[in-house]
Every structure is written in structure tokens, then in C-alpha cells.
């Protein structure tokens, strides 16, 4: 599936670093999402953007900062992360009013 | 809040049927989904069911919904080694943007 791409695929960062995750969708959708996937825990919805406006922020710590410059691109800016933030971060997109979300392959983040 | 639960692991032999179960707490769920995640990949929608249905069949996949017990199952007939993956149950009652996922069930298919 190349409809939703994410870069980088793997990222190792120290707790004092600043990095960004990038997501791009080539499907013409108008909603984009960030999810966190940790081992043995349900997928956690972090942020939802619809028509480039943030419509959901699930009590995510401020060390995670999303940005949606247009309907095709979504970023997750990271700073001062904790080891418990290590996880797979998944991006998804959908078309408003349509039931299916399309997922990217994820970025495996390790915080040391 | 809403909760979706799944068993963590299922092992079957190639050619057998697999049944993956899911329970949910939200009685007002409108759509229920099954997603598949292969190693190194994102989630892929396999099938979904509306809450006013009790069964849906799609080739080798059969979804059963028991609304009274809030129980959803996915049956895979003639399971193949390529079906080895993590299967996620999800539900929504607030629109398609807010899905509540289970922990996922890892299916291992042995030859």
C-alpha cells in the first residue's frame, strides 16, 4: 500500500533531541490522523485533522506537537520525549463521511 | 469510556478455520471493523459490519455480531500461512473519525 507514506520508518532519539515525523497521503483524502501503537495496548488516537483543522486532541502531552500544512501532509514534532514514548506511530487518512481509514506503515520510535 | 477487548494470541494449523473474538462495552456502537496488520506494515481494513446486521460474509471471512452480548467474531475459513498477522477489532459510535481499537490478536498459522 503506497497510498499513505511515513518517514522515517525508524527513529532513535535522546530525551533532549527534537525530531519530526512526516506523513503524506496520495489518496485525495481530507482527514488525517496520528495514532500511537504500544505493545499489548490498544491503538491510541492522538490527533485528528479534518480539512486542515485539528478536531481531536486526546489529552496528548505537549511534547507532541502536530502540524497539518495542507490536506496531503501531516507532521508530528517531537521534543523532550520520555522512554515511555517509545512506540510505533501510525498515520492514517480518510475521506469525511466514509467509513474506512487508510494507514501508513508507521514510524518505529525509540527514545533512549 | 468505551472499551474493546480481544485475546492476545491464537495459533491454528494451515487449512483449519480460525475464529478471533472481540467484546466491546459501547451499546451504541454503529460500525464495527476488523483490521489486519502484517509485520512492518500499517493496518489494512478487512471488513466491517453495521450494527443492524448480525452476519456478513466476504469470501473466506465471516463476521458475526451478537449485539445483546456485545460480541463480535471474525472467522477465517481455510486459514493460510499468509493469514499470519495481528487482527484488530474496532468500533465507533461517534462518526468514522473516532475509532476505538482493541489490543489486537496475533494469529499464527503453522504448516
Q: How far apart are CA B83 and CA B46, in angstroms?
A: 11
pLDDT at A1: 47
Which residue in the set B31, B43, B100 is minimally distant from A103, CB to CB? B43
Tell me the Cα Rg of chain A: 13
pLDDT at B54: 92
> B12-62, pLDDT tens digit by residue?
999 999 999 999 998 888 889 999 999 888 899 999 998 888 999 999 999
pLDDT at B41: 86
Average pLDDT, chain B: 92
Q: Do A103 and B44 touch (CB under 8 A)?
A: yes
Q: Do B88 and A43 touch (CB under 8 A)?
A: yes
pLDDT at A98: 75
> A59-70, pLDDT tens digit by residue?
899 999 999 999
What would the mean pLDDT of B71-91 be, rounded to a whole number?
A: 96
The distance of B2 to chain A (nearest Cα, Å) reads: 12
The stretches in chain A having pLDDT less than 50 are 1
Higher pLDDT, A1 or B68: B68
- Does the pLDDT of residue B88 top 90, yes or no? yes
* Cβ contacts of A62 within 8 Å, gap of 6 or more: none
pLDDT at A88: 95
B24 near A CB under 8 A: no
Q: Choose from A24, A38, A43 for mutation: most chain B CBs within 10 A.
A: A43
pLDDT at B1: 63
* Cβ contacts of A47 within 8 Å, gap of 6 or more: A33, A34, A54, A56, A57, A58, A60, A66, A76
B102 near A CB under 8 A: yes
The proportion of chain B whose per-residue pLDDT surpasses 70, expressed as a percent, equals 96
Q: Do B42 and A40 touch (CB under 8 A)?
A: no
The distance of A39 to chain B (nearest Cα, Å) reads: 8
Which chain A positions have a beta carbon within 8 Å of B104's beta carbon?
Answer: 42
Count of other CB atoms within 10 angstroms of residue A57: 12
Amino acid at each position: 500500500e503506497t497510498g499513505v507514506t511515513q518517514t522515517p520508518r525508524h527513529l532513535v532519539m535522546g530525551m533532549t533531541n527534537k525530531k519530526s515525523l512526516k506523513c503524506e497521503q496520495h489518496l485525495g483524502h481530507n482527514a488525517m490522523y496520528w495514532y500511537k501503537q504500544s505493545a499489548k495496548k490498544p491503538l491510541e488516537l492522538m490527533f485528528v485533522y479534518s480539512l486542515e483543522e485539528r478536531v481531536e486532541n486526546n489529552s496528548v502531552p505537549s511534547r507532541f506537537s502536530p502540524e497539518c500544512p495542507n490536506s496531503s501532509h501531516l507532521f508530528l514534532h517531537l521534543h523532550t520525549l520520555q522512554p515511555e514514548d517509545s512506540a510505533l506511530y501510525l498515520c492514517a487518512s480518510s475521506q469525511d463521511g466514509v467509513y474506512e481509514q487508510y494507514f501508513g506503515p508507521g514510524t518505529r520510535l525509540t527514545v533512549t | 469510556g468505551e472499551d474493546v477487548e480481544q485475546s492476545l494470541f491464537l495459533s491454528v494449523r494451515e487449512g483449519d478455520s480460525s475464529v478471533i473474538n472481540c467484546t466491546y462495552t459501547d451499546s451504541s456502537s454503529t460500525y464495527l471493523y476488523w483490521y489486519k496488520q502484517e509485520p512492518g506494515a500499517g493496518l489494512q481494513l478487512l471488513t466491517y459490519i453495521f450494527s443492524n446486521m448480525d452476519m456478513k460474509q466476504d469470501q473466506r471471512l465471516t463476521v458475526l455480531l451478537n449485539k445483546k452480548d456485545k460480541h463480535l467474531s471474525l472467522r477465517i475459513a481455510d486459514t493460510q500461512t499468509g493469514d499470519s498477522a495481528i487482527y484488530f477489532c474496532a468500533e465507533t459510535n461517534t462518526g468514522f473519525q473516532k475509532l476505538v481499537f482493541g489490543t489486537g490478536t496475533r494469529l499464527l498459522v503453522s504448516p
